[in-house]
Chains A and B, each alone.
Chain A
Amino acid sequence: MPYVTSVINLKGGVGKTTITLALAHFLALEHQKRVLVIDLDPQTNATVCLISEDEWKSRDDNGRTLYQLFADQVKGSRRFDADAAIVRDVSNVGGGVKGLDLLPSSLRLIKVQDRVTQITDLETYERGPLFALRDALKEYLPYYDHVLIDCPPALGVVTLNGLAISDSYIVPVVPDILSVLGIPPILDRVEHFGRCTKRNIRALGIVISKMRAQTILHNEMERRLREDFVERRFPPVFQTVVPESTRIAEAANVMAPVNTLQQKYGNGGPYEELSMLTREYLTCVVR
C-alpha cells in the first residue's frame, strides 16, 4: 500500500499546493516513485498546475473530477469512476512525468461541499460520506508508492475524506503570526478524528514555507516554532526551509516549456531546497 500524506493548513496561501506539487515531482523524477496527487481543494490549483485548464474543463464537464464523487453522495447516484478520473503521467516537465498521476478537483466542489457537510455528523463521524474517497480508490491506491493530498484550507468533510486514507499529514506554514495560529486546531481536530475512526494519523511535521530569511519576523517565528517542538506543543519542524521565490511562483505555469526539475524550479535556487525537502520527507515516512 502507498504511504499517504495530507497537506493541511486552515489558512490559505501558506504553500500547501507548492509543497504537494514539489514533493510529487521530486518523488517521481528523482526517486522513481509512483505518485498520485489528490487535489481536494475546490480552488483546483494543484489540478491546473498539472494539466491544462482546457483539459480540466473537459474532464469536469464529463464527471471525471472529484466533484462527481461528492455529488454522488448528495444525489445518491454512482457516476464517479476513479479509473476514468485519474489523469496519468501529468505535468509540463518533459511533456509529462511517467508515474505522476492526478485525481483532479473541481470548482464545483464549492457548491457541493456544504451540502455534504449538512448530511454529516462532525462530532461522532457516524453519519455522512466520510469514506467516499477511500471506497472509490480502494482498487487503485495499491498501484502507488506515495499519495499526496492537497487539502482545502478547512477541516470539513472534504478534508476528512483525505484524512480517512492518510497515514500522516504535514502542515506548511509561513513563519508569520497568522499562519501559526491555525496549527493547534489542526492538531486537535485530526487527533479527534483519528481517535473516533480508529486510525493513527501521524503529524509528520511542519514545513516552513515562503521564508524570507532577511526579515526579523520570519527568523523569530522559525526559532519559536522549533522551540515549540522541543516543548512538545507542536510536531517537529522540517530542517529544510522553502524560501519565498519567484521561480516557485512561476513553476505553477503548466504551459511553460521545461524539460527538467532544475529548469522548473531554478537550479541553485529553490530546486536545491525542494530536493532536500523530498529527501527529508522520505526519511520521515518509514512506517
Chain B
Amino acid sequence: MSSDSRDATPEQRRAVATFLRRLADQAERDETLAATLHTLLAESGLLTSATGDGDAPARGKGRASRSARTATPADVAVDPFPLLRAGGESGLRARLDTLDLAALRQIVRAHRLDPARISARWTARERVVTLIVEQTRARVNHGKAFSRV
C-alpha cells in the first residue's frame, strides 16, 4: 500500500469483508461464477494453476502450460470434430490411436466430453479413445433426428 493511502474505516472494512464472504459463498454454489473467477485470477497471475495431475504450478509458462483441467479446445493439438466429419469414425480413431493417454485425456477435458469425469480413472487408452469417438459422434449428430420430422 502506498504511503499516502488512508486506512479504511471500520465500515469500509466490514463492507469489503461482507462482500468477499458473499462472493466466496456464491462461488461455492455457482460453478459458472467460480470458473469465471478462477480464469480471471489465473490470468491476473494472482492464482497459480495447479494441474489435474498434481504437477508444479504453471505460473509464467504461458498458454501452452495451461493445466489439463482448464484446457480449452484451442489448447489441444487434435480437434476430433473436423476429423470425424472428414474421415469418419475410422479416421478419427486412427488419429487418436497415435496419441498417448495424457493427450487423450486433454481432448476429453478441453471439449468436456465427460463432464462427470468418470473416465479420469480409466487406465486403458482404448476406453478413452472409444469415449471420444462416441461423444464426438453424438454431438455431431445432435438434432439430426429433429431435422427429419
Contacts and interface: CB of A to CB of B under 8 A. Distances in A.
Interface string B115-133: 1111100000000000100
Contacts of B6: none
B61 interface: no
B31 A257 contact: no
Contact of A256 (B33, B116, B145, B146): B116
B134 A255 contact: yes
A54 B30 contact: no
B32 A245 contact: yes
Main secondary structure of the interface of B (DSSP, over half): helix
B118 A263 contact: yes
Interface string A264-285: 1010111001000000000000
Contacts of A195: none
A239 B104 CA distance: 43
A212 B145 contact: no
B145 A213 contact: no
B26 A214 contact: yes
Contacts of A167: none
A255 B135 contact: yes
Contacts of A264: 116
Interface in A83-127: 107-108
Nearest to B23: A214
A212 B30 contact: yes
A57 B148 contact: yes
A53 B116 contact: no
Contacts of A214: 22-23, 26, 30, 33
A247 B117 CA distance: 12
Contact of B32 (A54, A60, A246, A257): A246
B35 A258 contact: no
A256 B115 contact: yes
B134 A247 contact: no
A218 to B, nearest CB: 11
B143 interface: yes
A243 interface: yes
A15 B33 CA distance: 19
A54 B33 CA distance: 35
Contacts of B117: 263
A244 B32 contact: yes
Contacts of B148: 57
A56 interface: yes
Given A214-B30, A214-B33, A245-B32, A257 B116 contact: yes
Contact of B149 (A107, A213, A263): A107
B135 A256 contact: yes
28 contacts: A53-B142, A53-B143, A54-B145, A57-B148, A107-B149, A212-B30, A213-B26, A214-B22, A243-B30, A244-B32, A245-B30, A247-B115, A250-B112, A250-B115, A253-B115, A253-B138, A255-B134, A255-B135, A257-B114, A257-B131, A259-B116, A259-B118, A263-B116, A263-B118, A266-B31, A269-B29, A269-B31, A273-B29
Interface of B: 22-23, 26, 28-33, 35, 112, 114-119, 131, 134-135, 138, 141-146, 148-149
Interface of A: 44, 53-54, 56-57, 60, 107-108, 212-214, 243-247, 250, 253, 255-259, 263-264, 266, 268-270, 273
Q: What are the 3 closest A-B residue pairs judged by CB atoms, nearest first?
A: A263-B116, A53-B145, A255-B138
